[in-house]
Structure 1
Amino acid sequence: MKEANGGWPAESTTQLEKLSKAELIELVRLYSKLFLAVDAFWYLAVKEIVDE
Structure 2
Amino acid sequence: MREAGKILAEMHERVGEKIAPGISTGELDEFAEKTMRKLGGFPSMKGLYDFP
Same fold (TM over 0.5): no
TM superposition score normalised by structure 1:
0.37
- Bigger radius of gyration, 1 or 2? 1
TM superposition score normalised by structure 2:
0.37
Q: Which has the higher helix share?
A: 1
Higher relative contact order (CA 8 A, sep 6+): 2
